[in-house]
Structure 1
Amino acid sequence: MDRIYELADCEVKVRLEPGLIRVYSNAELWRFIDGKANARFELMVNSIKADYAAQFGKALAISNNSLIVEILVHVYCDYLGLSFNRLVQIKWIKALVSKLLKRAEIVDCGEKGVDSNRWVWDLLANCKPFFIWLLPKNLNAKQIKKY
């Protein structure tokens, strides 16, 4: 079930499924976290998890930090890929990166039984401050998303 979370004058799109949330990494998400990632991610994750619990009658079994790190890393990789495609003018490389970017438009965040990579995000969860620091501080100003 698709949901639109109106947070800080932004519309963050998320799909809720049993054991899984899908966060759309689009211009609205980028605008939402731009320059205020730490506080805004906490707001977003708490809103999604409360809605998930109301929808499915149980809590989403993913820690906030694990969820935040997974979304952060995907946004950062998306940012790098889009920046790369602006700089590199070799058509076949741009086409390959564009295919990878298309697949990264939706960040699938699943519980352990659903997401085989959950252990990676759980392991990196304690590194959340580093990933927040690493995230570009100008996502909105350098917006290069196509939507």
Structure 2
Amino acid sequence: MDKFYEIDNNKIKVSLDDGLIRLKSDKALWIYLDGAAIPQTLKLVKIIKSDYDSTFGKSLKISDNSLTVEIWAHVYSHYFGLLINRNNKIKWLRKLLLKGIERAEIIDCGEKSIDTNRWFWDLISGFKKPISWFIPKDIGKKKLIP
């Protein structure tokens, strides 16, 4: 079920399925996260999880921190892939980067029974604060995506 959450003048696209949420790494999400990624992501996570609970009548079994670091990983992989590829002239590297960019653009966050990588996000979620130090500044102002 596709939805748009209007948060701070940004339309964040989210899809809800049983045990799974999907976000789109796009300009709206980048602008929304820009400059205040920790509180903004936590706010988004709370909204998504609350809506999930209302929609399915049960809680999404993903911790806030795990969901946060997974969202960041995809958004910033998408960002860095586009940034590197912008001036890249090496054909084989361009193909490789484009594949990674496509994968990073859709953020699939599933419960353990669905998402085989959930253990990894759970593991690194304890390092949310130091991970946040590497978040690029002014990501929403970069002209990498329309």
Where structure 1 has 5 or more consecutive residues not aligned to the other structure, the ranges are none
Match of 1:59 in 2: 59
Match of 1:104 in 2: 104
- Return 45-54 or 80-89, whichever deviates more: 80-89
Match of 1:18 in 2: 18
* TM-score of the pair, normalised by structure 2: 0.96
How far off is 1:99 after superposition?
Answer: 2.2
CA contact (8 A) 1:73 1:131 kept: no
Name the aligned partner's letter for residue 6 of structure 1: E
Asked whether 1:31 is paired with 2:13, we answer no
Match of 2:115 in 1: 115
Asked whether 1:5 is paired with 2:5, we answer yes
Asked whether 1:143 is paired with 2:143, we answer yes
* TM-score of the pair, normalised by structure 1: 0.95
Match of 1:79 in 2: 79
CA shift digits 1:100-131 (9 cap, x unpaired): 21122111000010101100000011111122
Partner of 1:134, secondary structure, is coil
Distance 1:25 1:40 in 2: 15
How far off is 1:92 after superposition?
Answer: 3.0
Where structure 2 has 5 or more consecutive residues not aligned to the other structure, the ranges are none
Partner of 2:113, secondary structure, is coil
Partner of 2:140, secondary structure, is coil
Name the aligned partner's letter for residue 37 of structure 2: A
CA shift digits 1:33-90 (9 cap, x unpaired): 0001111001100000000000000000000000000010111111111111013212
Match of 2:131 in 1: 131
Distance 2:66 2:95 in 1: 31
Distance 2:80 2:25 in 1: 13
CA RMSD of aligned residues (A): 1.0
Following TM superposition, where does structure 1 have runs of at least 4 consecutive aligned residues deviating by more than 6 angstroms?
none
